[in-house]
Structure 1
Amino acid sequence: MNTFDELLAGRPLVAILRGVPAERAVAIAAAVWDSGIGVVEVPIQTPDAVDCLRAVAVAAAARGALVGAGTVITAEQVTVAADAGAVFTVAPGLDPDVVAASHAAGMPHLPGVATPTEVQHALKAGCGWLKAFPATSLGPRWLRELRGPFPEARFVATGGIGPDNAGDFLAAGAAALGVGGTVTRPGGLEALLAVLRP
């Protein structure tokens, strides 16, 4: 099983393609992959979204690129994600059954956390990378303070991230950023990459 240490090494962007038609999702995903600093997540809340994940996964396989499934909140969805070609799973919250199912399927899981208790339980469940969600509600200071008692945790700040605040979350210690709306708007990805590129 790949780990997020490997999947996100040198890639501070997780581009979230929620509700995007498959053809456009493939085009956005290609731009993210071409940047060299991102991976792609397709949330799978609807049958159309699963079809979109499958299309992006085919494009990813042809390029040696990476795509995961987002909003995976049941063990059954883990199976759907794996069958559609995902190589990792992401959730808005922490569910030990989903963590176990994802790991059993050979995929690392990125659970959502918003409290010290959730961070502690996620680490105990074998998740070293955690989705700080909703990031803008938690704020950069939350990340900075949680890194004190949990220095081993790697946070992907997700929710309301864009070019204007990405640097604040990175400066606070985020290892990566999960970005949805910005990357799907015209010109948004380019503006974000300008901030994220070294």
Structure 2
Amino acid sequence: MKDLDKLLSEIQVVPVIAIKDANKAVKLAQVLIDNGLPCAEITFRTEAALQSIKNIRDAFPDMLIGAGTVLTTEQVDQAIYAGVDFVVSPGLNPTTVKYCQQRHVPIIPGVNNPSLVEQAMELGLSTLKFFPAEPSGGVAMLKALTAVYPVKFMPTGGVSPSNVKDYLAVSSVVACGGTWMVPGELIDNEQWDELAKLVREVAGVIA
């Protein structure tokens, strides 16, 4: 597989998904692939997350799949077992980071200030999740961090159609994470055409 940073920079926007029914995961993944976003970060905020990841991995071996909201080493094990390419956490937990490194799976932990960036660098990390992006100062804060630290960022949290291009224009940003193109209500109701439209709109903006 290509370097994770390169893959993310090619995709540019990572759909962050909280899915309640694993039986809908493959169809959702198909919609993402067919409409220009061949990536999914399935968050561990629902009980269906693990099975959803497994279902997508079985159906689409080459899709870029991350596990989000990973908080424990047990969840790291589950994510690896399910077949993820990378792990994302909302904060910087050294125990989780070191465990991912031991298990040889990339982790992108959340940071939102200089001290956390330095702690992440001390752990050997160079790609970090800027979270929650908008409440933490948005593009201005990200530019300030970029001016000081030689790391890459994946801003997530408050990223939307109105500001995604501003975030992507920051030199340190490899990709943005977002939920707006994968709203839970549309997934629950299997409104695939509506989802496809939202995904195409994102792909069009970043093209």
Task: Please report the TM-score for the alignment, with normalisation by the length of structure 1.
Answer: 0.88
Write the distance in 1 (CA, Å) between the matches of 2:80 and 2:16.
Answer: 18
SS at match of 1:67: strand
- Letter in structure 2 aligned against 1:54: K
User: How do residues 17-28 of structure 1 correspond to structure 2 at under 5 angstroms?
Assistant: 17-28=17-28
Write the distance in 2 (CA, Å) between the matches of 1:2 and 1:101.
Answer: 22
Residue 101 of structure 1, CA deviation: 1.2
| Aligned 8 A contact 2:35 2:200 in 1 | no
User: How do residues 44-55 of structure 1 correspond to structure 2 at under 5 angstroms?
Assistant: 44-55=44-55
1:125 to 119, 123, 131: 123
SS at match of 1:97: helix
Compared CA separation, residues 182 and 35, structure 1 to 2 (3 A):
closer
Residue 97 of structure 1, CA deviation: 1.0
SS at match of 1:155: strand
| Aligned 8 A contact 2:37 2:199 in 1 | no
Q: Which residue of 2 aligns with 1:109?
A: 107
1:96 to 88, 94, 97: 94
Q: Which residue of 1 aligns with 2:174?
A: 175
| Aligned 8 A contact 2:36 2:203 in 1 | no
SS at match of 1:147: helix
Q: Which has the higher contact order (CA 8 A, sep 6+)?
A: 2
Q: CA RMSD in A?
A: 2.0
User: How do residues 29-68 of structure 1 correspond to structure 2 at under 5 angstroms?
Assistant: 29-35=29-35, 38-61=38-61, 64-68=62-66
Q: Deviations over 1:50-99 (max 9, x none)?
A: 111211221231xx221111111111110011111112100000011111
Aligned residues: 194
Compared CA separation, residues 49 and 25, structure 1 to 2 (3 A):
same
Where does the alignment leave 5 or more consecutive residues of structure 1 unmatched? none
Write the distance in 2 (CA, Å) between the matches of 1:160 and 1:27.
Answer: 26
Q: Percent identity?
A: 33
Where does the alignment leave 5 or more consecutive residues of structure 2 unmatched? 187-193
Q: Deviations over 1:103-138 (max 9, x none)?
A: 222210000001111111112212211111111212
- Letter in structure 1 aligned against 2:106: P
Q: Which residue of 2 aligns with 1:190?
A: 200
Task: Please report the TM-score for the alignment, with normalisation by the length of structure 2.
Answer: 0.85
- Letter in structure 1 aligned against 2:14: V
- Letter in structure 2 aligned against 1:60: F
Write the distance in 1 (CA, Å) between the matches of 2:60 and 2:119.
Answer: 32
Write the distance in 2 (CA, Å) between the matches of 1:66 and 1:182.
Answer: 17
Residue 38 of structure 1, CA deviation: 4.4
- Letter in structure 2 aligned against 1:195: V
